[in-house]
Structure 1
Amino acid sequence: MTQAEVDYDYEALPENAPLTACLLAGAIAGVAEHAVMYPVDSIKTRMQILAPTPQAMYSGVFNAASRISTTEGARTLWRGVNSVIMGAGPAHALYFATYEYAKESFGGNAAGHHPVAAAAAGACATTAHDALMNPFDVIKQRMQVHGSVYRSVMDCASKVYRTEGLRAFYISYPTTLTMTIPFKSIEIATYEYLRKVLNPTGNYDPMTHIMAGGVAGAAAAAATTPLDVAKTLLQTRGESKDVRIRNCNGLVEAWRIIYQRQGLAGFAKGLQPRVLSHMPSTAICWSVYEYGKWFFTRDNLDKQPILA
């Protein structure tokens, strides 16, 4: 068998591929994912606030974008973006490095479809990612709410720490994991399945990653929106004037408040902007990551042994 007859699946990293390939590709993918769709994420946060001020009540995504831009300025949609950029790089580097290691360990790189292995690898990766990213996410959402008075990421972090303590940055971590583990499990299992269906050869194909990533992101976002509503309540509780919300201590209590105030419809708040945000952002994340992985390991792939 000659070199030309051998199809190497670049997505299963070669043994001599450096760890920096995953770290760099993951960091770039994370920043791209969060930065590009940040304004839609800001709208999602605004729409999920349980007791908004009259000025922050919106009928939909376009209504929110128009009103925020005209009354507060278009730059408001980008408030807090520095927080996710600061956190997304290292957090996603850790995420993808953990994911690649776990997927290989669980047999996810073997021939055929392995949705359980992919989902398990995603769960391991997101646990590590969220431990690092959660404080940055809290700061981001505090700066996204209507009437936020924080001047910068550091100003927000220092004021939250002084008034609410370190616990404020991790009060939502259990809820975040409860949401992101199924989110990432659904996303990755769907992505890996569609990737292999659309591109069975495993050769680098950007359109495959875009399509598979978009569908996977939309499916995972829709399925986990009720958990995201609870996460938003917990992460922004310090900005609320409602005593019960300010004292909410966990997922069960958050869900109880949401149900009592808005019924079942409350669990779907922000569904539209969440799906609209995650569909392109997940497509961007996976396509940038797969390109980065291919780019940083292309020399290593050329050095693979030729099978006789």
Structure 2
Amino acid sequence: MTQALALPTISAVGSIDAYIQAARQVPMLTEEQEFALATRFREESDLDAARQLVLSHLRLVISVSRGYLGYGLPHADLIQEGNIGLMKAVKRFDPGRGVRLVSFAIHWIKAEIHEYVLKNWRMVKLATTKAQRKLFFNLRSMKANRDALGPVQVADIAQRLNVKADEVMEMDTRLSGHDTAFDAQADDDEAFVPAAYLADHSSEPVHVLEGRARDRLHSDGLQNALGSLDPRSRRIVEARWLTEENPATLHDLAGEFSVSAERIRQIEVKAMQKMRANLAPLVANT
């Protein structure tokens, strides 16, 4: 659009409730009216026609935006971002294709709201791939309730969304988390808050030297504990617990060793018990 459309904003109307009521009062367009307005805008750059198209679809943005209220972001902001997507849709809409604007616009509205959520929500860093974004936006609706997911649900969601089971569990844990206040409330001096634990003595020379010695002991102890395992058990422990990127799943290792996932789990449990027994004296002395 060559100019900004004079569209009502929530701040101009006074409140989100008043805005929603105003949007609902705008009459919906018939197919013939929509075609005529879209043609005028496309062929004559008629901004008044574009404005009428946008106003008649504000209720669609309000409806779509409600689906994103679970991320803790202001409804007013979600609506405003959705309106940007609606205006982009009107600008690109071709009435000659025989598709109603509502079907064409919903993609642009959701895309704009998605970007807003990902940029502003506290878990944005988890949704870095297309599959993770799909998980981010669908996990809430796929859960039967607010309880933690069980193994069967995790496996089902992972398969349906083409992501790893551990990614589903991690996303569920983080989506279920709550923010912690940095400072205590004025009437709650005993509450746990991060501000009370900011003092850092770890950089003092004595602590640095002690930490380095402890790290060396733990590193040597870990290598000795791993050395006490048979090759298969050591491979399972290293692949499951000592790999920083893409740790192996039970099913991955079951395929590698041609046994069941349950057998891999049993071997892992016994290996970890043996390692703990070897590390016990070291832990007791540190």
TM-score (norm 2): 0.25
Greater relative contact order structure (CA < 8 Å, 6+ sep): 1
More helix by share: 1
Q: TM-score, normalised by structure 1?
A: 0.23
